[in-house]
């Protein structure tokens, strides 16, 4: 059952990427666990970019974009480390 916009998008992505896993990598829960930390508008943008005809591996591009976004978010949240001289 689709409960939210994110659930709908994940379902659409899994169909586009031919994901059929019920557990583990590629499963609905796998996608949800990672993608819930990314703003929904960014996900739509990344998915749209990955579906462009000139893209050779759309799934790889999508997950690379997600990783870049998560890295940006984690850098904002992590405390700064001070160097001792």
Within 10 angstroms of residue 13's Cβ, the number of other Cβ atoms is 20
Give residue 75's pLDDT band: very low, low, confident or very high (50, 70, 90).
confident
Q: What's the predicted TM-score (pTM) here?
A: 0.79
**19: alpha, beta or left, given left = phi > 0 and alpha = psi -120 to 50?**
beta
The whole-number average pLDDT for the span 52-65 is: 94
Give residue 18's pLDDT band: very low, low, confident or very high (50, 70, 90).
very high
């Amino acid at each position: 059952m689709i409960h939210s916009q994110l659930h709908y998008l994940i379902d659409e992505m899994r169909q586009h990427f031919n994901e059929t896993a019920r557990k583990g990598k590629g499963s609905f829960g796998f996608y949800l666990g990672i993608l819930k930390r990314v703003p929904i508008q960014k996900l739509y943008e990344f998915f749209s970019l990955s579906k462009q005809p000139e893209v050779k591996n759309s799934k790889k591009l999508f997950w690379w974009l997600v990783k870049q976004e998560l890295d940006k978010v984690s850098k904002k949240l992590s405390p700064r480390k001070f160097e001792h001289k």
